[in-house]
Amino acid sequence: MTDGYRRRQYLKGAGATSLGVLGALAGCTRGGSSSDGGSSSSGSSDGSSGGSGDSSGGGSDGGSSSSEELPIPLSEYDSADIDWQQFEGDQINIGAVQHPWVQAIKPAIPVFEELTGIDVQWNILPENQFRTKRQTDASTGAGQFDVFFMDQVVNQFRNEGWLQPLDPYFNDESLYDESFYKPNDLFESSRWQAHGGGYSDNWTGLPITVEVQTQFYRQDLYDKHDLEVAETWQQHRENAKVIDENEDVAGTSGRGQKGYGMNIYILNTFLRQKGTSLWSDFPNDSGLDTQGVIEAAEYYTSLLQDYGPDGASTQTWSDVQAAMAEGQTGHIVADANMFWGGLTNDESNVADTVQIAKVPKPEGGELNPNAFNWQISTSTNAQNSEQGFLFMLWATSPPTDLWINTESSGVFSVRQSTWENDDYISKVGEDYAQVSLESLKASAPDPFDRKYPEWGQRYSEELQRAITGQKPAEKAMKDAAATAEDIYSG
Amino acid sequence: MSTPTQTETTNKHGVAKLRDLWNDYLPYWFVAPMVLVMVMITFFPGAYDLYLSLIEEPTVNIFAAEFVGLENFETAFTRGGAFHSFVITVTVVVSALLLESLLGFFLAALVAGVESGRAKAFYRVLFILPMAVAPVSLATIGRLMLNTEVGIIPYVINTATPFAAPAFLSDLPLLTVILLDTWNWTPFMFIIFYAGLSSVPDTLVEASRVDGAPLWRRYIHVIIPYMKPVVFVATLIRMIDLFRTFGVVYGLTQGGPGTATQLVSINIYEQMFINNQIGVAAAIAVVYLVFVIAIANIVIAKVGFEGVWD
């Protein structure tokens, strides 16, 4: 393969990938940084306009609507002992990121409007602009959004008193029915993250999407070199070495760019699999200078330095996905399962050969991939929080979740029952469903404490320095530990 | 004829006083609207920034704010990396300014020396083009062109030279940022210097030529001194603009690897929108504002405005 050919192919692939995945992997966890597009969702959006800018979720004029025309029959919600109509005629404003979940649920919004008589107004923004808008709305007490997307800053917002706990609404019999909602059907990790990742006893929001880390590899190269799917770090390293040394592509690829949703999103899995955790004694000991963390950092940095692409330290998740889709790397060591759609669609050069597997774990370690959830929350100053809670409940309820993920374009259900549903499995493919489900069951999200964005950024900078070779991984992790602890002691 | 009442007399007196006030301060009244606008768009944001730097958390009710003195400034310079980002910024500003000035002048001199009018027009357009590229586009193009796997620049280095191309963004991030900015903004210096060169009277150049001065002497002793105001203004404007650099560098490296290219502007952005440390971000911004104003004033004082505004 000539360099010229590779370059053209890369550019074509990068462009196509950016366009194709702009939506689906907007949900891919990130932080403080890149506004790259990404991709992945398979399937269409059922005609929903996933566009940008402010847009209405459709009229609430029930005159022309009937249950027969609705995507989800209203009878699906009959079993709920909830007074759906108590806020008839009201309106809620939803602040949302341009995200595949929005695309997937929009066609079902008339169902909610018909069911409750509440009109839904969307305020959809690109992620970075949304973060700014959300912060302004919450911190100034403007309360424009009744419901809004929430991510790694959940405890930061909660600590500032900007976020409203949902427990009072769960305790309101007219708003909540446990037998209908089935909260235990939500993945344990999703429920845990919705409780502030262990930092709150209260619901801080309801999870809407989950992505879990998986491994992607090229079957053609594995067949050619008689390689086995890696279950351990050592096997993965050896496979990467064989491919790197014998093929004109990088052995492996992974996020190297700094940002609290970038390189450390990968490393946090590895360090957990080594039996260590972040903040072994919060807020005194970050745990970042323990032997397990150092070994995890050494594994990841040396893997990228030895068998990753040149300049791996600057790779974002979209660079990683583009490299894989273009056939420029043998593996993605551990990244969001939602890459699957972008790697197997028509734009991918490796669609016929790419395979998905669970992330490798260290010898003697346990599978413990990272799971990231987007959730929707309501602020302390929201004008219509009760109405917003009804929306959250409806949007994440079993019938709506199943519809989003089987009939619409969703591939990111937070409910275990959906992942086990035959229609869903046939839609997303057995490999994707099985690997994702098993990974989700074993997964754990990062505990986003209230200063996670701040010390996470510094921790990611140190890891990036190690990947670049500016300092050894051990020194980088020790410096990261000192910085994180200093931030809490200060 | 009726006599004026007491009230009328008083009113007349009041109107006369107002008229005198208007006439005495006439120039100020004319300037007042502009002053008001400047206060709104310059001084108010500056004052608000100072206020934010002195309080714990922002609040609409300024009387309810918890003042923390210089705590945010201390945090900025201890764990906020402010000092490091100032060093990086000054390095970028000085290096890029020097490179852009020298290259801009060199290109301007080359084009000025071209005889053909058509060729001159062609070169003018050619050299100005990079300036038209938006920062985000430039960062995206830069990332692609410098990509070690598929980028055109490493490819050319690898195939046309005996050297192996470095990983620009991870091995030479600061140099890469400086060179990319130089590519982007040398046209600005070129166009101003070219205008300056065009304004040098032919008679002066001819006289020095008749006196037997070689080309380099003509530049050192005649052309450049004549262009001093132009050089000064171009350098000052570009220097202030360089201090504001954000988009290209953030798009290219996000301030990394680590904090290798973390300009003050990037540091402020991260403190504000990632760390949610609004007070620390405001503190760095206040120091930066004072710093840039001081630098600009030093440059103006040392180099002087002689001949610039005449």
What digits encode the pLDDT tens for the residues A132-183? 889 888 887 888 999 999 998 999 899 989 999 999 999 999 999 999 999 9
By C-alpha distance, the chain A residue nearest B165 is: A310
Tell me which residue in A257, A453, A470 faces B274 most closely, judged by beta carbons.
Answer: A453
- Where residue A353 falls among pLDDT bands split at 50, 70, 90? very high
| Cis geometry, peptide bond prior to residue A283 (ω within 30 degrees of 0) | yes
Query: What's the average model confidence in pLDDT over A105-113?
Result: 97
User: Under an 8 A CB cutoff, do A468 and B79 touch?
Assistant: no
Q: Which two tokens stand for residue A426?
A: 């046939």
Query: What's the average model confidence in pLDDT over A7-14?
Result: 50
- Where residue B229 falls among pLDDT bands split at 50, 70, 90? confident
Cβ-Cβ contacts under 8 Å between A and B: the total is: 107
Tell me which residue in A10, A468, A483 faces B170 most closely, judged by beta carbons.
Answer: A468
- The β-bridge relationship of strands A91-97 and A147-150 is parallel
Is this prediction's ipTM beyond 0.90?
no
Contacts of B74 in chain A (CB under 8 A): none
Contacts of B168 in chain A (CB under 8 A): 311
User: Under an 8 A CB cutoff, do A486 and B257 touch?
Assistant: no
To the nearest whole percent, how much of chain B has pLDDT over 70?
94
User: Under an 8 A CB cutoff, do B147 and A312 touch?
Assistant: no
Tell me which residue in A3, A31, A313 faces B257 most closely, judged by beta carbons.
Answer: A313
What's the pLDDT at A87? 97
Contacts of B274 in chain A (CB under 8 A): 31-32, 260, 453-454, 457
- Where residue B12 falls among pLDDT bands split at 50, 70, 90? low
Amino acid at B198: S
Residue A190: how many CB atoms within 10 A of its CB?
A: 26
Tell me which residue in A139, A311, A483 faces B169 most closely, judged by beta carbons.
Answer: A311
Contacts of B167 in chain A (CB under 8 A): 310-311
Tell me which residue in A10, A156, A453 faces B150 most closely, judged by beta carbons.
Answer: A10
E strands, A325-455, in order: 331-336, 354-357, 371-377
Amino acid at B145: M
By C-alpha distance, the chain B residue nearest A261 is: B274
Contacts of A447 (CB under 8 A, 6+ apart): A197, A198, A199, A278, A279
Q: What is the distance in angstroms between the Cα of B56 and the nearest Cα belonging to chain A?
A: 12
What's the pLDDT at A397? 98
Contacts of B276 in chain A (CB under 8 A): 135, 153, 156, 453-454
SS percent in chain A: helix, strand, coil, step 5: 50, 15, 40
Q: Which two tokens stand for residue B11?
A: 């009113």
User: Under an 8 A CB cutoff, do A3 and B273 touch?
Assistant: no
CA nearest neighbour of A54 among A117, A133, A107, A108: A133
Residues in B whose CB is inside 8 Å of some CB of A read 57-58, 60, 75, 78-79, 143-144, 147-152, 155, 159, 167-171, 253-260, 270, 273-277
Reply yes or no on whether the pLDDT at A37 is more than 50: no
User: Under an 8 A CB cutoff, do A259 and B150 touch?
Assistant: no
User: Under an 8 A CB cutoff, do B273 and A259 touch?
Assistant: no
User: Under an 8 A CB cutoff, do A258 and B147 touch?
Assistant: no
- Tokens 């919060």 map to which residue? A282
Least confident of A371-385, A420-434, B255-269, B271-285: B271-285
By C-alpha distance, the chain A residue nearest B136 is: A35
By C-alpha distance, the chain A residue nearest B269 is: A32
CA nearest neighbour of B251 among B241, B239, B265: B265
Residue B181: how many CB atoms within 10 A of its CB?
A: 24
- The β-bridge relationship of strands A119-125 and A91-97 is parallel
By C-alpha distance, the chain A residue nearest B254 is: A33
Question: Cα A172 vs. chain centroid, distance in angstroms?
Answer: 30
What's the pLDDT at A17? 43
User: Under an 8 A CB cutoff, do B149 and A250 touch?
Assistant: yes
Tell me which residue in B57, B257, B276 faces A470 most closely, judged by beta carbons.
Answer: B257
Question: Cα B306 vs. chain centroid, distance in angstroms?
Answer: 21
By C-alpha distance, the chain B residue nearest A256 is: B257
What's the pLDDT at A72? 96
Contacts of A34 in chain B (CB under 8 A): 254
| Cis geometry, peptide bond prior to residue B257 (ω within 30 degrees of 0) | yes
E strands, A294-388, in order: 331-336, 354-357, 371-377
DSSP character string of A96-110: EES-HHHHHHGGGHH
Query: What's the average model confidence in pLDDT over B247-253?
Result: 91
By C-alpha distance, the chain B residue nearest A488 is: B79
Residues A166 and A412: their CA atoms lie apart, in Å, by: 23
Burial label for B169, CB within 10 Å (0-12, 13-18, 19+), is buried
H or E segment to which residue A209 belongs: strand A206-218
SS percent in chain B: helix, strand, coil, step 5: 75, 0, 25
Query: What's the average model confidence in pLDDT over A288-293?
Result: 96
Of residues A1 and A280, which shows the higher confidence score?
A280
Residues B93 and A24: their CA atoms lie apart, in Å, by: 40
User: Under an 8 A CB cutoff, do B258 and A470 touch?
Assistant: yes
Q: Which two tokens stand for residue A34?
A: 């890149």
Contacts of A472 in chain B (CB under 8 A): none
- Where residue A340 falls among pLDDT bands split at 50, 70, 90? very high
Reply yes or no on whether the pLDDT at A65 is more than 80: no
What's the pLDDT at A52? 33
Alpha helices in A106-187 (DSSP H): 109-116, 127-139, 154-160, 167-170, 178-181
Residue B188: how many CB atoms within 10 A of its CB?
A: 18
- Tokens 């912060």 map to which residue? A135
Per-chain mean pLDDT for chain A: 87
- Tokens 């066609």 map to which residue? A107
Residues A332 and A307: their CA atoms lie apart, in Å, by: 11
Contacts of B169 in chain A (CB under 8 A): 311, 313-314
By C-alpha distance, the chain B residue nearest A128 is: B273
Residues A115 and A86: their CA atoms lie apart, in Å, by: 11
Reply yes or no on whether the pLDDT at A10 is more than 60: no
Query: What's the average model confidence in pLDDT over A294-315?
Result: 94
Q: Which residues pair with A336 in a beta bridge?
A: A213
Tell me which residue in A34, A141, A453 faces B276 most closely, judged by beta carbons.
Answer: A453
What's the pLDDT at A132? 81
H or E segment to which residue B248 belongs: helix B247-253
CA distance to A274, A293, A423, A456, A464, per residue, from A471 (Å):
22, 16, 50, 18, 9
Residues in chain A: 490
Residues A311 and B257: their CA atoms lie apart, in Å, by: 10
Amino acid at B161: T
User: Under an 8 A CB cutoff, do B274 and A461 touch?
Assistant: no
Largest interatomic CA distance in chain A: 67
Residues A299 and A235: their CA atoms lie apart, in Å, by: 12
What's the pLDDT at A55? 37
Reply yes or no on whether the pLDDT at B87 is more than 90: yes
Long-range contacts of B294-297 (CB under 8 A, 24+ apart): B295/B239, B295/B243, B296/B236, B296/B239, B296/B240
User: Under an 8 A CB cutoff, do A454 and B274 touch?
Assistant: yes
Q: Are A411 and A335 in contact (CB under 8 A)?
A: no
What's the pLDDT at A50? 32
Q: Are A209 and A101 in contact (CB under 8 A)?
A: yes
Reply yes or no on whether the pLDDT at A11 is more than 90: no
Q: Are B282 and B292 in contact (CB under 8 A)?
A: no
Alpha helices in B25-151 (DSSP H): 26-38, 44-53, 71-78, 82-112, 117-128, 135-146
What's the pLDDT at B170? 87
What's the pLDDT at B65? 83
User: Under an 8 A CB cutoff, do A465 and B253 touch?
Assistant: no
What's the pLDDT at A280? 86
Reply yes or no on whether the pLDDT at A31 is more than 80: no
Residues A210 and A276: their CA atoms lie apart, in Å, by: 23
Q: Which residues pair with A125 in a beta bridge?
A: A97
Q: Are B169 and B143 in contact (CB under 8 A)?
A: yes
Contacts of B150 in chain A (CB under 8 A): 3, 6-7, 10-11, 328
Reply yes or no on whether the pLDDT at A48 is more than 50: no
User: Under an 8 A CB cutoff, do B254 and A250 touch?
Assistant: no
Contacts of B171 in chain A (CB under 8 A): 311, 468
Residues A48 and A107: their CA atoms lie apart, in Å, by: 6
Q: What is the distance in angstroms between the Cα of B138 and the nearest Cα belonging to chain A?
A: 15
For B188: left if phi > 0, alpha if psi spans -120 to 50, otherwise beta; the answer is alpha
Q: What is the distance in angstroms between the Cα of A97 and the nearest Cα belonging to chain B?
A: 16
Contacts of B277 in chain A (CB under 8 A): 454
Residues B14 and A428: their CA atoms lie apart, in Å, by: 85
What's the pLDDT at B9? 56
Tell me which residue in A258, A314, A486 faces B79 most closely, judged by beta carbons.
Answer: A486
Query: What's the average model confidence in pLDDT over B170-194?
Result: 94
Q: Are A30 and A261 in contact (CB under 8 A)?
A: yes
Alpha-carbon torsion (B256, B261, B262, B265), positive or negative: negative
Residues B66 and A282: their CA atoms lie apart, in Å, by: 27
User: Under an 8 A CB cutoff, do B170 and A132 touch?
Assistant: no
By C-alpha distance, the chain A residue nearest B81 is: A458
Q: Are B99 and B182 in contact (CB under 8 A)?
A: yes
Tell me which residue in A14, A309, A464 faces B258 most closely, judged by beta carbons.
Answer: A464
- Tokens 């906020």 map to which residue? B80
**Which one-letter DSSP state was computed for residue A202?**
S
Query: What's the average model confidence in pLDDT over A332-361?
Result: 94
Residues A311 and A319: their CA atoms lie apart, in Å, by: 11
Residues A360-401: pLDDT tens digits? 999 999 999 999 999 999 999 999 999 999 999 999 999 999
- The β-bridge relationship of strands A371-377 and A206-218 is antiparallel
CA nearest neighbour of A395 among A112, A166, A113: A112
Residues A187-219: pLDDT tens digits? 999 999 999 988 999 999 999 999 999 999 999
Q: What is the distance in angstroms between the Cα of A381 and the nearest Cα belonging to chain B?
A: 14
By C-alpha distance, the chain B residue nearest A131 is: B273
Best residue in A310, A451, A459 for a mutation probing chain B (most B CBs within 10 Å): A310
Query: What's the average model confidence in pLDDT over B239-260?
Result: 92
User: Under an 8 A CB cutoff, do A140 and B254 touch?
Assistant: no
By C-alpha distance, the chain B residue nearest A157 is: B276
